[in-house]
Amino acid sequence: MKCLVFSALFLFYLLISAEATIPCNTVNAKAAPCVTFAIGKAPTVPPACCSGLLQLARSVRSVNDKKDICRCMKAGTKSIRGLQDKFLKQIPTACHLNVGFPVSASVNCEK
């Protein structure tokens, strides 16, 4: 469940590059530490969240990679109860990540 919330966080990393090679289980594992913050259970973004998202960002090699990560995160967020966009939106800034688009569980991954 936590992995799904982190998937939404990986949407941030989608700004980086275009070939799909990053499996959802990897995306979910990297984003999992972000779930407690994204549901409002942690007062700050955990360092492991930022570390995982940075690793994902560095793994992007293409636009398709970005879209795949986005799709994985979006699918993952659907099963996380209590996920709040107001917390998701804070993660890129807290992790010093420039995603270039609004972070949301309802983001359009095809753009």
Q: What is the pLDDT of residue 31?
A: 93
- 103 versus 75: the higher-pLDDT residue is 75
Is residue 111 a part of any domain in this protein? Answer: no
pLDDT at 17 over 70: no
pLDDT at 100: 64
> Has residue 34 been placed in a domain?
yes
Q: SS3 string of the chain?
A: CHHHHHHHHHHHHHHCCCCCCCCHHHHHHHHHHHHHHHCCCCCCCCHHHHHHHHHHHHHCCCHHHHHHHHHHHHHHHCCCCCCCHHHHCCHHHHCCCCCCCCCCCCCCCCC
- For 31-55, the pLDDT digits (tens) are 999 999 999 999 999 999 999 999 9
Question: CATH number for the domain including 50?
Answer: 1.10.110.10
Does residue 37 sit within a domain?
yes
pLDDT at position 101 is 66
Task: Give me the domain span that covers residue 89.
Answer: 19-95
What is the pTM assigned to this prediction?
A: 0.77
Number of domains in the chain: 1
